[in-house]
A and B are shown apart, each in its own frame.
Chain A
Amino acid sequence: MTQVATGPHSYAEQFARFSQQTTLPGALVSLRDDGFSCFDRLGFPTTRLEDWRFTNIAPIADTPFVAPTSGTDYTRADLDALHVPRLDGPELVFVNGTFAPALSTTDGLPVGVRARSLATVLAQDHDETAETVASHVGRLARIESEAFTALNTAFLRDGAVVEVDPGVVVDTPIHLLFVTRSGAEQVLSQPRVLVLTGANSQVRVVESHAGDSETPYLSNAVTEVSVGDHAVVDHYTLVREAEAAFRIGSLHVTLGRASNFSSHTITLGGAIVRNTAHVVLAGEGGECTLNGLYLAKGRQLVDNQTTIDHARSHCDSHELYKGILDGRSRAVFNGKIVVRLDAQKTDAKQSNKTLLLSEDAQITTKPQLEIFADDVKCTHGATVGQLDQDALFYLRSRGLSRDQARQLLTHAFAADLLAHIKVEAIRTQLDALLLERLPVAG
């Protein structure tokens, strides 16, 4: 464990000030305190830990980030300048972790759906939903062994809460947009998202994480999703952090009986990005799709850690992560599938495919299956390759330039993942990005 820095900007000092300034309901005060003591005990992870062996976050540990207690000035024009797809529906915007009501809208949400800021919900005394919400915070995201989750929990203050009542079907995707901007100080933004869906409900939630400052910042996000029985929930995480920025994000999901959950994690920007997904199939007959697409260039490092926990029988999981790596970028994929003793008739498929566009790009991929039941189907596979030379020549022999041919084949590599993206604005942006803007290296 690395020593957590001391001094006025040390996390201990910041936490002491922070916990005096912010008020939370009683149950969350102790969660927050536990969060800090866990973080203090764990320290930042080092490459000596198995799960962090290939992801050195020393640049994060060594930077004196400051957790702001309010947002910074941010205008609609600033938002429009970010390369984030606009979904033209309900949208909650958070700046440096703080809700920005002036930039947000909840128009178009049907009755039975609430999309609100966590701070707003928790400020309502003696409110029944506030108590429900408070009781769900930290239920799935465990602080005991994950330093970044503990750090996020310690500075718990604001975030997004999406609640869908039983039986309600939401047609338009709900957009949660988290933007971070460092000023004189290097900002630590800690988005927190809670999605609670009732039985038989359906909803799509899109989380976008972006920033526009040249100074580094750290966005340390934690999302908890509870999928009700027979509910259908699609979750998108779009990571387009600034070039110098760091992002650590974790997604914690539990699925009810015969429910369906899909996650699409798309990483486009950030110096170091680590996305963790932990999904528990906690009811019989659940189905989970975990898809990921990551594009990296320069010296970017993108790490995807996934765990799918088959805790009950007759559950299916499909996992496909694809990476397109250029320059001297590196990626890590660690896909763990656990099949518990009771989880008979499990069908789990996992695949990680990487396209290396340069000689110096690197991928470390590791499937990890732990199977305790005996009547299950589990498959996993990993491929690493370059662009097909025969296909390149074929395209060029038809008149396409080398660059055009490379872009077309690169887009083709991701085509099956793109086809699964049901939010058109995201798919259109990715199509354009892959076909037009992908940097082409020799």
Chain B
Amino acid sequence: MLEVRNLHAKAGDRQILNGIDLTVNAGEVHAIMGPNGSGKSTLAAVLAGRDGLEVTAGSATFKGQDLLELEPEERAREGLFLAFQYPVEIPGVNNAYLLKAALNEVRKHRGEPVLDAMDFMTLARERMKLLEMDDSLMNRPVNEGFSGGEKKRNEIFQMAVLEPALAILDETDSGLDIDALKTVSAGVNAMRTPERAMVVVTHYQRLLNYIVPDFVHVLSGGRIVKSGGKELALELEEKGYGWIDSEPAAAAV
């Protein structure tokens, strides 16, 4: 589904990604871990198409298409979803309005009929239950005045409505207490299907107790320096990130 080859990217003058290789197949959950500043969020942002990041070498294909050639909205309509580390507050834009517009753009792209307000609300209410979200959040401005936990729930709720092929969760666990973490994880797990892939970016292993990955990759200095199964996450939890840098950096799978 996603093939990243030798991806290099920089932000301004700063080189951040130094040759990422990553293959994600349908049905798989990949965790990307690494210390602060290792390039985790930059990788997520490059894949989603954020402005201000320049790909200097390498490639990324998504469902066989050159991902880097697509506008952010085209990526979204093709089924790529980024759950933001810092969801943006947008005063004056109604949460339900945005989500309905987004869903209908995705549906149009898939050749499906657009949903009217009634059908949309029926779907939205059903998916909200998944995240144990309060109905009132739908009628508030996007993320404005939401608590940290509400923002992260809202991201996963959007994902549940948009039903992407590939979801990239950027530090969805940061700032969540254990109850919220369980709720959000349950929401994510409910979305796991043989057709859908996920890339879970996280600093801490804790999230991976709830969203159990098939593969774990360790990012350091803008490269994947180690890959393995879910047990790699536990090793990191035990030893910290210090030992990674001292190992030879040739372990990328």
Listed in ascending order, the chain A residues whose CB lies under 8 Å from chain B are: 388-391, 393-402, 404, 408-409, 411-416
- Contact A397 B93, CB 8 Å, known A391-B88, A402-B71, A404-B101: no
- Contact A409 B90, CB 8 Å, known A397-B82, A398-B98: yes
B contact residues, total (Cβ < 8 Å): 32
Write out the residue numbers on chain B whose beta carbons fall within 8 Å of the beta carbon of A397: 48-49, 72-73, 75-76, 81-82, 84
A399 x B106 contact (CB < 8 A): yes
- Contact A396 B91, CB 8 Å, known A389-B51, A402-B71, A408-B98: no
Write out the residue numbers on chain B whose beta carbons fall within 8 Å of the beta carbon of A400: 73, 98, 101-102, 105
Write out the residue numbers on chain A whose beta carbons fall within 8 Å of the beta carbon of B76: 396-399
B51 x A393 contact (CB < 8 A): yes
- A398 and chain B: residue at smallest CB distance: B102
In the complex, per-residue mask of B195-212: 1 if CB is within 8 Å of any chain A CB, else 0: 000000000000000000
A401 x B98 contact (CB < 8 A): no
| Interchain nearest-CB distance for A351 vs B (Å) | 15
Listed in ascending order, the chain B residues whose CB lies under 8 Å from chain A are: 48-51, 71-73, 75-77, 81-82, 84, 87-88, 90-93, 97-99, 101-103, 105-106, 109, 141-142, 158, 162
Selected A-B contacts with CB under 8 Å, 13 pairs: A388-B88, A389-B51, A393-B50, A396-B73, A397-B48, A397-B73, A397-B82, A398-B162, A399-B73, A399-B77, A399-B103, A400-B98, A416-B92
How many Å lie between the Cα of A396 and that of B103 in the bound state?
Answer: 12
Write out the residue numbers on chain A whose beta carbons fall within 8 Å of the beta carbon of B81: 397
Write out the residue numbers on chain A whose beta carbons fall within 8 Å of the beta carbon of B105: 399-401, 404
Please name 19 further chain A to chain B contacts, defined as beta carbons within 8 Å, in addition to the given A391-B90, A398-B162, A412-B93, sorted by A numbering.
A389-B51, A391-B88, A393-B50, A394-B142, A396-B49, A396-B71, A396-B76, A397-B76, A397-B84, A399-B106, A399-B109, A400-B105, A401-B73, A402-B71, A408-B93, A412-B90, A412-B141, A414-B92, A416-B92
B88 x A390 contact (CB < 8 A): yes
How many Å lie between the Cα of A396 and that of B106 in the bound state?
Answer: 12
Write out the residue numbers on chain B whose beta carbons fall within 8 Å of the beta carbon of A395: 90, 93, 98
Of the listed residues A389, A400, A413, A414, the one surrounded by the most CB atoms of chain B closer than 10 A to its CB is: A400
A412 x B87 contact (CB < 8 A): no
A412 x B91 contact (CB < 8 A): yes
- B90 and chain A: residue at smallest CB distance: A391
How many Å lie between the Cα of A48 and that of B93 in the bound state?
Answer: 43
- A401 and chain B: residue at smallest CB distance: B73
